[in-house]
Amino acid sequence: MSIINPYEHHRTQLSRILDREEGRKMSFIIRKANILDARDIAILQIRSWIAAYSGIVPYQAIAAVNGRRLSLWQKILKNDSDAFVGVCNHEIAGFIGMSESRDDDAKPDTYEIAAFYLVPEYFGKGIAKPMMDYVLEHIKKLGYSSVTLWTLEENTRARKFYEKCGFLPEFKKEITIGKPLIVIRYRKNLST
């Protein structure tokens, strides 16, 4: 069975959305990230963290984490990691990083989306869903039957999106990023 890129059926709708709002033709592709993307991904993640977590995570904690982004992404992408970027008009607009689950209680058939961020200007513009569809199909092809991800309880935009994509909350725990915060693990079964 040949698989068509999952974002293809969203391309027309996405183009209409962005064309209407920006008055120009938009191109959108999803591709594997590489070492040359490290700087753009680091900047994207810094901007996304500031936009998504201001008022949730203390600014000093955001700044401390953001100061290490470039070296982190250079190291990750140097090792041929499982990461994809969404490119709009030749600029990286989002990225998703994945790996085998890092959770102690994970079963061997569980993969994890460890990072999913968009440039703030693309929040709510319709590119997140095709990116999610693409990586879920990729994870299925790797032979995994479920995928998990973690998000802050107070990050309601992300939580609504993950739930719309069929992820269900299954576990909460407290972490510290400048202050105590609750994170929720979501899971999606890929075998149905």
Instruction: Classify burial at 94, counting beta carbons within 10 Å of its beta carbon; exposed 0-12, middle 13-18, buried 19 or more.
Output: buried
The per-residue pLDDT for range 136-169, each reduced to its tens digit, is 999 999 999 999 999 999 999 999 999 999 999 9
pTM comes to 0.84
Torsion of CA 141, 171, 55, 135, to 10 degrees: 0
Nearest to 183, CA basis, from 154, 147, 148? 154
Position 24 scores a pLDDT of 63
Residue 132 has pLDDT above 70, yes or no: yes
Nearest to 49, CA basis, from 155, 138, 192, 182? 155
What's the whole-number mean pLDDT along residues 130-139? 96
Instruction: Kindly list the domain boundaries of the chain, sorted by start residue.
Output: 8-19+28-189
Residue 9 has pLDDT above 90, yes or no: no
Read off the pLDDT band of 80 (50, 70, 90). Answer: confident
What's the whole-number mean pLDDT along residues 83-95? 95
| Residue 83: both structure tokens together | 């990461």
Bridge-based pairing of strands 180-189 and 146-152 is antiparallel
Considering only the top CATH level, what class is 8-19+28-189? alpha beta
The per-residue pLDDT for range 35-68, each reduced to its tens digit, is 999 999 999 999 999 999 999 999 999 999 888 8
Comparing 126 with 146, the larger pLDDT belongs to: 146
Position 11 scores a pLDDT of 40
Roughly what angle, to the nearest 10 degrees, separates helices 59-66 and 38-53?
Answer: 170
Q: How far is CA 54 from CA 38, 95, 102, in A?
A: 23, 20, 26
Residue 19 has pLDDT above 90, yes or no: no
Residue 91 has pLDDT above 90, yes or no: yes
